[in-house]
Structure 1
Amino acid sequence: MGDVPYIAIEGPIGVGKTSLAERLSSHYGFHLLKEIVDENPFLGKFYENIEEWSFQTEMFFLCNRFKQLEDVDNDYLQKQKPVIADYHIAKNMIFAQRTLKGDKLDKYKQIYDIITDDLPLPNMIIYLHASLDTLLKRIKCRGREIEKNIQPEYLAQLSQDYDVFMKQFKQKNPHIPIIQINGDQVDFVNRKKDLEAIIKQVDQKLMAYSL
């Protein structure tokens, strides 16, 4: 693993990535990197008409996440300051491969490869996953206006895509530990013991690479 902790939390929409990142950032005193979601001017239109607005939506996310990660690399990681993020930029390809087709997907892949070529990889991934019912309940509970038109079918497919991606990521990067957490069974927001159990797993991984 790297010299300085760089932890990314990943999983489908509504699974609790930001909530966990905030709690772990507070516990460890690591810099918190949160993805820009609400500022995407295309997102509401995207959930209404995925095919029409997918390229604009994905390009906005890619450019903003690139800028965020470039800044965090320069301002924190290169200065040996630990970081915990509520996303990994590779998620862009998970969404793009589902929403883009033909020439648009080809163009997007070319831009993605160029932009992400020299970005730092996390040296630990926390993968949150949950059933469709759990995801839908959490999305409804947080009540974001831009998410009201998310279709259950899209969310279910996205969850499957994440499972495939994480398996592929593990094969390509066997040296990067992945902590998997079942959101149906674990409630780190309302149960302190669940959060403590996650922290214990992170501690073990941090200790392993510091030896």
Structure 2
Amino acid sequence: MKDIKYIAIEGNIGAGKTTLAKLLAKQLKGRLILEEFADNPFLEKFYKDPERYAFSVEMAFLADRYHQLSELPSSGDLFQPYIIADYAPFKSLIFAQNNLNEAEFRLYREFWQMAFNKIRQPDLIIYLHRSNPNLIQNIKKRGRSYEQNLKEDYLLKLTERYGVYLKNFWDGNILRIDADLQDFLHSESDVQSLIDRIKGL
């Protein structure tokens, strides 16, 4: 694990990314980076009128993620060696491709490449795969009003896009976890088992 200092948790909406990131940061005594989605002024508007606000919501997320990740050190420091984030830089591309039309996405991708070309990339992606029924159950359980009308097809497309990206474009370390079979929130042994897998890389 000596070369793995920066770990990003990825997965669909409701996969359990933030929960796992918090648990790993606590156990590994690392720096925690959480996506600041609540600060996006277009998010609720996007869920009500996706076609009108898709580009605005994605550009706002891109700016927020860039500001967070551009502050990361180029390598782990001695006193706080681990960085645990509940998203990876490429998340912006996956959601933008899902939400924007072709012309908008081409323009967006240019902005993304300019912003993230020199941003530090994670040493490890932990990808949480969760079935659609369990994603929807988690979304309803956490109760964010603007997420309650998410369609199953939307979540399925995101899962497909994650699969394509990770297969064809991500060439770094990755651990794929069947999150339906884990209970990181209530099972310390599940968390420890994952940490053991990370240390074994």
**Category of TM-score, reference length = shorter chain:** over 0.9
Q: Does 1:51 pair with 2:51?
A: yes
User: TM-score w.r.t. structure 1 length?
Assistant: 0.88
Q: Within 5 A, what are the aligned runs for 1:135-174?
A: 135-170=135-170, 173=171
Q: Note the alpha carbon deviations across 1:16-47, whole angstroms, 9 max, x for none.
A: 00100000000010100111111111111112
Q: Map 1:30-109; keep pairs closer than 5 Å.
A: 30-73=30-73, 77=75, 79-80=77-78, 81-109=81-109
Partner letter of residue 193 of structure 1?
S
Amino acid at match of 1:158: L
State the alpha-carbon separation in 2 of the partners of residues 98 and 4 from structure 1: 30
| Closer, same or farther: CA 4–163 of 1 in aligned 2, 3 Å | closer
- How many residues are matched? 199
Q: Tell me: CA distance 1:88–1:107, structure 2 relative to 1, closer, same or farther (3 Å).
A: same
Contact 1:18 1:34 (C-alpha < 8 Å) held by counterparts: yes
Secondary structure of the structure 2 residue equivalent to 1:38: helix
Residues 151-202 of structure 1, C-alpha deviations (whole Å, 9 max, x = no match):
22111111111111111234xx2xx221111011111112222222111111
| Structure 2 residue aligned with 1:114 | 114
Task: Determine whether 1:15 maps to 2:11.
Answer: no
Structure 2 residue 195 is matched with structure 1 residue 199:
yes
**Is 1:190–2:186 an aligned residue pair?**
yes
Alignment partner, residue 128 of structure 1: 128
Offset, 1:78: 6.2
Q: Cα distance, 1:107 vs. partner?
A: 1.2
Q: Aligned residues: percent identity?
A: 37
**Deviation of residue 86 (structure 1)?**
0.6
Asked whether the equivalents of residues 5 and 82 of structure 2 are also in contact (C-alpha less than 8 Å), the reply is yes
Range 24-33 or range 97-106, more displaced: 97-106
Which amino acid in the other structure matches residue 190 of structure 1? H
Gapped regions of structure 1 (runs ≥ 5): 206-211
Q: 2:34, 2:87 within 8 Å by CA — same for their partners in 1?
A: yes
Give distance in 1, aligned partners of 2:143 and 2:123.
33
> In structure 2, do the counterparts of structure 1 residues 58 and 195 end up closer, same or farther at CA, with 3 Å as the change threshold?
same
Determine if contact 1:125/1:179 at 8 Å carries over to the other structure. Answer: yes
- Quote how far apart the aligned CAs of 1:3 are: 5.2
Aligned to 1:209: none
SS of equivalent to 1:141? helix
Shift of 1:4: 6.1
Q: Which runs of 5+ in 2 are unaligned?
A: none
Which structure dedicates a bigger proportion of its chain to helix?
1
Q: TM-score, normalised by structure 2?
A: 0.92
Task: Tell me by how many angstroms 1:103 deviates.
Answer: 2.5
- Measured in 2, the distance between the counterparts of 1:193 and 1:108 equals 42
> Of 173, 178, 183, which aligns to 2:174?
178
Q: Which moved more, 1:14-23 or 1:36-45?
A: 36-45
Cα RMSD (Å): 1.8
